[in-house]
Structure 1
């Protein structure tokens, strides 16, 4: 019997040297999707505004946005606004923004952690055809200045704490005129704004003004820009991915069609999603758009990730969308807890685990006895009602995917995508329990692999073709804002976008992400890492001559290979009673490694590296990186792939020591 294929080569596609044939999902071999039909079958959904109206109609007045009020420091039960109430408020708020001078296709900022006003502000943008530009402080203050100035932003919607940050740097933000504050504000903030020439207004006042002075809704077209989403740039300057309504709706339409084929889910009014992944990134925004399309409820976390599981226990979501870092934490806690208990509890868990693992080979994730007897308490960690789990933003280890399926008896999906295609590149299918793959291309794109000779990856590799993942289709962005040079590096004249990631097709036409080409990469929690920037910063330490920073995409921390500065290390050795040792002997000493690690940790913070950018373990070597040993290019740049291969044993050991 022939195994089911998940993708097929695009018919009549030309043979291009150095490239494999493009492939599409087996569900759409002839035509890519870009819109979807409303549930009543009366019209095609082509914009995010129409997607919102679809949710309002489907909801029949049901709950939409939920928030936990904090009273005397204690989080209370969720309070809900209905879809129809949110529609009213969004209409008024969008009109209020118009009175502040926001016009069709002009840019406005949103700067806050996830909360109901964030979503409502964006929905107002969709309704009145404004372009949202999210801001987030993990990029750093310099990046915020760059984004505000490049987009010539006049109005920013912000929480009170973020409003203070903006006022602090107002001298560097000449275009900023209005800050709309979510929640309560004090007189001091208003006074500070007035002194700096910035009007500070409360979100609800803008809403009231729009209610009293209505403005006609101004719906966007599919080709209008919905958002400019900034990501880290290779030079340290962020780059803004320009995403249209068509880009997002194409990805949404893929999920809709997958659902009709029982390969994914579209939520209903009975479903609940917890919103805690940053709304500044497209992963959470496409997730919310999926929830809206099916009129599901969205409940927000309190704002503290340490209290997330408490929020989850109260909300009891049926859909849990997260990143590998959290799933890894649950995995580690459960398995270490089982090990600590030992005895009959550990015996029962292991027996149940193996029984369900065997069941998965027969295509089922449920077991009537073990689910109740052993896994009920684990399911309760996510509220006890989760039916669908989606992991994205970074690769997840196959054994963790298996763990989630076994312990939660849920459909578990692994998605793969980037900002530049509205997170819509590939996703694994319901019922396919093979871990380690991200499924075929989404139904809105086609994907091909381009040879990377420098890394020995080719589309002719046996048994599986390998190469850089390239895609073309309706979810692919139009380019980087005011940056034609970087756009040209990523997007070619035929519409093919390069991802910087290395993939291979498996024997059934599913995509497996195996490596990366580009120097910016993600850790397991989804944080972007620019290793050259970190290496440049840490190499300034007086004890460091050369450094190679490495991050495994399934891990949440960085490690590094360090070549000490021979002269300054000798001085340190003399001061510490080790003057009789050679350079090679010093590099092998545990005390030198411990000292360097401690020094780099402190120094990293001094030079404003973030916690996740500082290596948590290092290996010290006396061997210089040179052109002769193939670790440097002729222009003295580090050959990252070669260095990774050379120090692979040390890298694996450093990560094992960290577990």
Structure 2
């Protein structure tokens, strides 16, 4: 339990009607940081290029031979620096000039990181593309940025060639991997210069070009947010935006409130590099000269990669942590007997110890939790969760089972992922810590939702921030920029926050995802979904309500493994997973289970689902129901399952 303040109001800040006073971290109340001092103490780090030189990175990846992942191979930091220098010079000879924009489309791999580092060295601007955005979005981004050069993994080349007629500015494709002769001929026929990454690197090695380092205010990247509806928006992020976040972590580490990984640490890179969360993570890792190992490109095989890599730092999203939580608890329940008794006793003991700040236990860690720790390689010391809210129960679970420091971060693309982070040693779940040391944060009233910065005892409102990690605006979109950034530099997040009694931020709602039922009750569907997703039979759930209806309904994707186990125990063992999802008695049993579970989890009566539709296909990026950061596309889901939603309401109303 906290015994001191984590943030304080900015002294002498003006009182603005409808807003609370800005708050800053207690670690830096007088100024917002945006640089840090090198470990030698002889220079100040202010750009991502200088950050790279500070680490002079080494990276690892698993080569794939005939579809089989091989052992990890490593490059020293100095070797990576040589390759980055050569590749950057190769881009210069290809015709790129300072502030030119180049695209990257690929899964995470060493060439992705080295391409961007080369961009930093020569003041080029990277702009990630990702196929899951859809062809229309890729077309929009390439044409809005007038992109001439795209660095692509070999599997993405056919897509780019297929789209060439809609991408008039595209001149160069640089292929990570092998170059297919047939595709080479096709590219030439389309007027595209196509070459390999290593050929560009070799040309740069043979024809060096002097570095052209950026200033802090130069643009590092344009990162397009997928959003849940509409055209993507390109957030303009500078070197200062990112280094401000890295500097905040360095300052926190000096106060023992965070960690800066060292050469002894290993990070697994699997969250998409197309998004700022993983890129900020890599910048932090690079600053500490940490090993970076890349997954083989298949999230279903991620835990295989982790078992080999044995990371000490594991950064992920609640979706994966929830699956680990569900699988472990379902496994304990299935074993029963002595194993379940020992787990429950060990878990209760360690949970009680959390209140005293103790993460380890000499007996239970070895006897009960060793096998669980092995799921993440057995060496994890630091776990970071971001991208979406994580349940307090799951955070406690991670601390108990992995004996690791667990941090919850909060941020958005528009702040280079740097808004707030919980502190080391603060084991109170459900909060995302005070503001990062590079920003100040305030809450703005939302009268329509009855949230006020003057609420007692805890102020509430839309989260607003200002500072060094806040973006410059949206690329070629002044109206959208104006809607997010005001003239004083305050950016709106669209999230609803609350200051707790110790000055830590708690994210409680989403401004746009709140809706009202017919009886006037406001519903936050994401909160209900996060509760129901913890049930051992549930993999995913979409909660829906209509303003003309007084009840909620849901689309439920069961967990295939636990549902089939449940089916055997309940007389349905002869059915496949798909058949079980279509079985009316299974639907009724699952609805009853979720109703009971919801009430036990303190959901209010009007937050309990009154009807569900069970499906076997998971929400995914591929079927356009999840954004690339694994957030549910609510509007798409509503359209996809519109007929089922209407039918569920008809069934409810006909029973009254």
Normalised to the residue count of structure 1, the TM-score between the two structures is 0.82
Matched, 1:22 2:59: no
Matched, 1:186 2:161: no
State the number of aligned residues.
Answer: 567
Counterpart residue number, 2:266: 272
Aligned with 1:349: secondary structure? helix
Matches within 5 A, 1:328-367: 328-367=322-361
1:219 to 213, 217, 226: 213
Counterpart residue number, 2:430: 436
Counterpart residue number, 1:238: 232
By how many angstroms is 1:175 displaced? 0.4
By how many angstroms is 1:40 displaced? 0.6
By how many angstroms is 1:2 displaced? 9.5
By how many angstroms is 1:87 displaced? 0.3
Counterpart residue number, 1:98: 92
Decide whether the 8 Å contact of 1:137 with 1:144 is kept in 2. Answer: yes
Matched, 1:250 2:250: no
Matched, 1:481 2:475: yes
Cα distance in 2 between the residues matched to 1:39 and 1:623: 62
By how many angstroms is 1:101 displaced? 1.3
Matches within 5 A, 1:623-642: none
Matched, 1:559 2:543: yes
Decide whether the 8 Å contact of 1:160 with 1:184 is kept in 2. Answer: yes
By how many angstroms is 1:560 displaced? 3.0
Decide whether the 8 Å contact of 1:562 with 1:621 is kept in 2. Answer: no
Counterpart residue number, 1:545: none
Counterpart residue number, 1:45: 45
Matched, 1:469 2:469: no
Decide whether the 8 Å contact of 2:2 with 2:428 is kept in 1. Answer: no
Q: Deviations over 1:336-355 (max 9, x none)?
A: 00010111111000000000
Decide whether the 8 Å contact of 1:563 with 1:621 is kept in 2. Answer: no
Cα distance in 2 between the residues matched to 1:600 and 1:325: 18
Cα distance in 2 between the residues matched to 1:147 and 1:122: 18
Matches within 5 A, 1:152-231: 152-231=146-225
Counterpart residue number, 2:418: 424
By how many angstroms is 1:558 displaced? 2.1
Cα pair distance change 1:140/1:371, threshold 3 Å: same
By how many angstroms is 1:562 displaced? 7.2
Cα pair distance change 1:93/1:381, threshold 3 Å: same
Cα pair distance change 1:594/1:208, threshold 3 Å: farther
By how many angstroms is 1:518 displaced? 2.9
Aligned with 2:75: secondary structure? strand
Counterpart residue number, 1:287: 281
Q: Deviations over 1:319-376 (max 9, x none)?
A: 0000001000000000000010111111000000000000001111111111111111
1:146 to 116, 136, 140: 140
Aligned with 1:310: secondary structure? helix
Decide whether the 8 Å contact of 2:416 with 2:469 is kept in 1. Answer: yes
Decide whether the 8 Å contact of 1:67 with 1:299 is kept in 2. Answer: yes
Aligned with 1:365: secondary structure? coil
Q: Deviations over 1:425-472 (max 9, x none)?
A: 000000000000000000000000000000000001111000000000
Decide whether the 8 Å contact of 1:563 with 1:620 is kept in 2. Answer: no
Aligned with 2:221: secondary structure? strand
Cα distance in 2 between the residues matched to 1:480 and 1:291: 28
Normalised to the residue count of structure 2, the TM-score between the two structures is 0.82
Counterpart residue number, 2:36: 36
Matches within 5 A, 1:213-612: 213-233=207-227, 236-519=230-513, 551-552=526-527, 554=530, 556-561=540-545, 609-610=624-625
Cα distance in 1 between the residues matched to 2:473 and 2:380: 37
Cα pair distance change 1:264/1:595, threshold 3 Å: closer
Runs of 4+ in 1 over 4 A off after TM superposition: 548-553, 561-564, 593-602, 615-624
Cα distance in 2 between the residues matched to 1:193 and 1:347: 64
By how many angstroms is 1:77 displaced? 1.1
Cα distance in 2 between the residues matched to 1:149 and 1:351: 60
Cα distance in 2 between the residues matched to 1:94 and 1:74: 31
By how many angstroms is 1:595 displaced? 13
Cα pair distance change 1:594/1:154, threshold 3 Å: farther
By how many angstroms is 1:620 displaced? 4.7
Aligned with 1:127: secondary structure? helix
1:67 to 61, 72, 82: 61
Q: Deviations over 1:457-488 (max 9, x none)?
A: 00011110000000000000000000000000
2:80 to 86, 106, 112: 86
Aligned with 1:89: secondary structure? helix
Aligned with 1:42: secondary structure? coil
Decide whether the 8 Å contact of 2:494 with 2:511 is kept in 1. Answer: yes
Counterpart residue number, 1:538: none
Counterpart residue number, 1:6: 6
Cα distance in 2 between the residues matched to 1:488 and 1:29: 28
Cα pair distance change 1:79/1:495, threshold 3 Å: same
By how many angstroms is 1:233 displaced? 4.9
By how many angstroms is 1:563 displaced? 10
